[in-house]
């Protein structure tokens, strides 16, 4: 998929923030129909108790919605449905990458992260996730621990959708 721009991300945020309760339900129903495995993955992450508090789960759901909406808008329509095996492959790949980086010093980890991001196709989207998680203007901001998990889980969702072909 082509790289999503910062403007497209902002347009998705604006559209999602302007939705009524009825529109939000319709949006979630559409996401469930088009990407049930992504929606199940997000729900399972939120339900399994990884997050320290409710704000972590809420933030992940909100960010996953923005990611999906942005990618569909950029694709100009439906994205091929991601399946459970794809999610598992991307989860393993991302987990292995972070396990490799665990032994790095803080300085080494920063250099490694910069090198990963250099050629990342959806860099603006991943940067948006990071900025949203670290923004001091976010009153319901997740804890530092939850933010790390949300970043990893969001990257997995982005990777899955980025590798899916447009229908």
pLDDT of residue 8: 92
SS3 sequence, 42-99?
HHHHHHCCCCCCHHHHHHHHHHHHHHHHHHHHHHCCCECCCCHHHHHHHHHHHHHHHH
pLDDT of residue 165: 67
The CA distance from 39 to 25, in Å, is 13
The model's pLDDT over 24-54, given as tens digits with 9 standing for 90+, comes to: 899 889 989 999 999 999 999 988 888 888 8
pLDDT of residue 95: 83
User: Bigger pLDDT: 26 or 164?
Assistant: 26
Burial class (CB in 10 A: 0-12, 13-18, 19+), 78: middle
The CA distance from 22 to 80, in Å, is 26
What's the whole-model pTM score? 0.87
Please give the DSSP secondary-structure letter assigned to residue 166. B
């Amino acid at each position: 998929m082509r790289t999503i721009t910062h403007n497209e991300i902002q347009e998705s945020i604006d559209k999602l923030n302007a939705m009524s309760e009825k529109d939000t339900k319709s949006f979630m129903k559409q996401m469930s129909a088009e990407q049930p495995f992504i929606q199940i993955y997000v729900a399972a992450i939120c339900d399994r108790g990884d997050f320290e508090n409710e704000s972590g789960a809420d933030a992940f759901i909100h960010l996953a919605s923005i990611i999906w909406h942005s990618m569909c808008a950029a694709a100009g329509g439906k994205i091929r449905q991601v399946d459970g095996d794809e999610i598992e492959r991307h989860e393993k790949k991302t987990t292995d990458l972070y396990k490799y980086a665990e032994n790095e010093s803080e300085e080494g980890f920063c250099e490694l992260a910069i090198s990963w991001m250099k050629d990342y196709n959806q860099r603006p989207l991943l940067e948006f996730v990071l900025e949203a998680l670290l923004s001091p203007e976010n009153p319901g901001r997740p804890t530092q621990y939850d933010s790390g998990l949300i970043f990893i889980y969001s990257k997995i969702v982005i990777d899955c959708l980025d590798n899916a072909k447009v229908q």
